[in-house]
Structure 1
Amino acid sequence: MPQPRETATPRSPVTADDVDEAVRLAVEVVRRVPATAWDDMAGSLEWTRWETVEHLSDDLFAYAVQLGLRTPPGDREVPFRLERLRPGGPRNAIHADRAAGPEGLPQVLETSGALLSAMVRTTPPAVRAHHIFGASDPEGFAAMGMVETLVHIHDVAGGLGLGWSPPAGLCERVLARLFPDAPRDAGPWATLLWATGRGELPGRPRLTSWRWYGEPRP
């Protein structure tokens, strides 16, 4: 894919408070999922709703720990052991104990989000840590965690009538940070779904491949 164009338009940075808000809203939705729906597939994914929330929790944890070393590795992630609980399931370091019931899953999600927001608050802005899409700074990892949160809760909520529509400001800041080439003539939530292969925009078909750009930017 081509490199993103730079824009002179001022942008508002993504903050730890944004992570907190996104995760808080996500936890509210997770707590409303019917107990009978957890083993159904999440949206267009090949994971169950339960596995998708575990994967999201694992993403937030993984972004937090990347920022936890004094000298982050430049060529790989921090080597926590990753494991699939079934063929085709997500490969995670974080799994929720099913014995704790559905009420335990949002606790796992909330604590993983708290770890990321804490690391974003306390890590110097000049720190760079590894990501497959390019070394990023604390703001970039905050934005990545928010993308994972916003779109995976969309996956989880699909078909349940839970009305997941995150605040426009959160979506706008994430798009400006990670998707600088995204169109600007549609609503920010619809645009974020399009940018992550989950929706269409007028005159623009659904994407079959996509990525974000986590490199630090002005």
Structure 2
Amino acid sequence: MHEARGTSARAVTGADVERAVRLAVSALRRAEGADWSVRAGSLEWDCWETVEHLADDLFSYAVQLGPANPPTSTHVPFAWSRKRPGGPANAVFADREAGPAGLLQVLDASGALLTAIVRTAAPTLRAHHIFGASDPEGFAAMGVVETLVHTHDVAEGLGIDWSPPADLCDRVLTRLFPHAPTDTERWPTLLWATGRTDLPGRPRLNTWRWYGAPRADGADRADDAP
């Protein structure tokens, strides 16, 4: 039986970011002894680079909301760089000598930054994103999507199981992907919406995006219940 979208109407919060990151770290710890230089799913990056990119995403969303007057037309100007041609452009990198355990600690720390910022930022705050200015709830939802989907990429590369909770997938689908089907299972639908797979009657997307514009429905973005 499919769990239809709309059953988890609660706004996306810092608690959701915290939950997503903790679930991801717990899952990936099962593969600490694996070869993290293998390709991450369908990406051109390896598993180590993909987790660094995820940590950088969470960090970047946090600092974008962090200034007293967040920029609404550009990024906060941290310096980005690549470790190799074709690798992710990050401001955050993990010390390779710390191994996968250290890498996951970097991910955990970046997730904690976004969690804290979302919990303390005013719901009326707006900050720049390439797909349009968003609010703290929007950045929380983006962080959850990045976490769930990139953990999928890495888990696929490392050969471990990863299937996040349907209610978490449902909330970010509702918040960021208004074009996604509502009568399909939530996790496969999120993978479809982010170009990772197909759905019955819906081919895999070659290009995709989310829509982070603040809600216009008056949803309570202050609710941070776990």
Task: Quote the Cα distance in structure 2 between the aligned partners of 1:160 and 1:105.
Answer: 15
How far is the alpha carbon of 1:36 from its aligned partner? 3.6
What amino acid is aligned across from residue 141 of structure 1 in structure 2?
A: F
Q: How does 1:98-113 map to 2 (within 5 A)?
A: 98-113=96-111
Coordinate RMSD, CA, aligned:
1.4
Are the structure 2 counterparts of residues 159 and 72 from structure 1 closer, same or farther at C-alpha, using a change threshold of 3 Å?
closer
**3-state SS of paired residue (2:100):** coil
Would you say 1:81 and 2:83 are equivalent positions? no
- Where does residue 20 of structure 2 map in the other structure? 22
Are the structure 2 counterparts of residues 154 and 207 from structure 1 closer, same or farther at C-alpha, using a change threshold of 3 Å?
same
Q: How does 1:179-190 map to 2 (within 5 A)?
A: 179-190=177-188
Task: Quote the Cα distance in structure 2 between the aligned partners of 1:207 and 1:35.
Answer: 33
Percent identity between the two aligned chains: 67
- Where does residue 72 of structure 1 map in the other structure? 70
Task: Quote the Cα distance in structure 2 between the aligned partners of 1:10 and 1:202.
Answer: 23
Deviation string, structure 1 residues 160-180 (Cα, Å, up to 9, x no partner): 442100000000000000001
- Where does residue 168 of structure 1 map in the other structure? 166
- Where does residue 115 of structure 1 map in the other structure? 113
Q: Which runs of 5+ in 2 are unaligned?
A: 1-5, 218-226
- Where does residue 220 of structure 2 map in the other structure? none
How far is the alpha carbon of 1:9 from its aligned partner? 9.5
Are the structure 2 counterparts of residues 10 and 159 from structure 1 closer, same or farther at C-alpha, using a change threshold of 3 Å?
closer
Deviation string, structure 1 residues 48-89 (Cα, Å, up to 9, x no partner): 000000000000000000110111112101000001000110
**3-state SS of paired residue (1:35):** coil
Are the structure 2 counterparts of residues 49 and 174 from structure 1 closer, same or farther at C-alpha, using a change threshold of 3 Å?
same
Of residues 185, 190, 193, the one that matches 1:192 is 190
- Where does residue 4 of structure 1 map in the other structure? none
Of residues 56, 68, 71, the one that matches 1:58 is 56
Deviation string, structure 1 residues 90-132 (Cα, Å, up to 9, x no partner): 0000000001112101100000000000000000000000000
What amino acid is aligned across from residue 112 of structure 2 in structure 1?
A: A
Task: Quote the Cα distance in structure 2 between the aligned partners of 1:149 and 1:215.
Answer: 20
Task: Quote the Cα distance in structure 1 between the aligned partners of 2:213 and 2:196.
Answer: 23
**3-state SS of paired residue (1:199):** coil
Task: Quote the Cα distance in structure 1 between the aligned partners of 2:76 and 2:93.
Answer: 17
What amino acid is aligned across from residue 70 of structure 1 in structure 2?
A: A
Task: Quote the Cα distance in structure 2 between the aligned partners of 1:129 and 1:74.
Answer: 5
Task: Quote the Cα distance in structure 1 between the aligned partners of 2:138 and 2:201.
Answer: 30
- Where does residue 207 of structure 1 map in the other structure? 205
Q: Tell me if the contact between 2:20 and 2:144 (Cα under 8 Å) persists in the aligned partners.
A: yes
- Where does residue 158 of structure 1 map in the other structure? 156
**TM-score scaled by structure 1?**
0.94
Q: Which runs of 5+ in 1 are unaligned?
A: 1-7
Task: Quote the Cα distance in structure 2 between the aligned partners of 1:92 and 1:160.
Answer: 22
How far is the alpha carbon of 1:34 from its aligned partner? 4.5
What amino acid is aligned across from residue 158 of structure 1 in structure 2?
A: E
Would you say 1:40 and 2:29 are equivalent positions? no
Deviation string, structure 1 residues 124-173 (Cα, Å, up to 9, x no partner): 00000000001000000000000000000000000544210000000000
How far is the alpha carbon of 1:215 from its aligned partner? 0.3
**TM-score scaled by structure 2?**
0.90
